[in-house]
Amino acid sequence: MFRWGRSSREKLAELKQQAEEVLRSKRYTKALSLAAQALKEAPDDPDFLRIRADALLGEPHSREVAAEASAIYSYLTQRNPTDPTIWVRLVLALLKENRLAEALAASEQAVISCPNVAGL
């Protein structure tokens, strides 16, 4: 966990590393908890928003949970429209919600926004 005497930025960096590790090990509930903790400090941090959305999609979920994930990814594509990874995640979230037309539109927008990425 955190060590006292460290700056807020250092604490967030440490928390991000922990959250990424638990996310990679598919411990989605723990990743959600770490992301929530960080988002209290930095509510608009794109890394922790992405971690939250990734963890939401990793858990067995309802449509509402998938909707929250797709809303986060949609927001992140507006903040960084040239990040192909976020576009792919948005498309996957929309597909999990069975929002096929919107998933297709997002995939088309990804190709436009990321023209130099192979595979899009």
**Residue 2: which pLDDT band, with cuts at 50, 70 and 90?**
very low
pLDDT tens digits along 45-62: 999 999 999 999 998 767
pLDDT value at residue 4: 45
Checking if the pLDDT of 109 tops 70, the result is yes
Checking if the pLDDT of 14 tops 70, the result is yes
Domain borders along the chain are: 1-60
**Residue 120: which pLDDT band, with cuts at 50, 70 and 90?**
low
Q: Name the residue among 91, 89, 94, 36 with its Cα closest to residue 66.
A: 94
pLDDT value at residue 115: 85
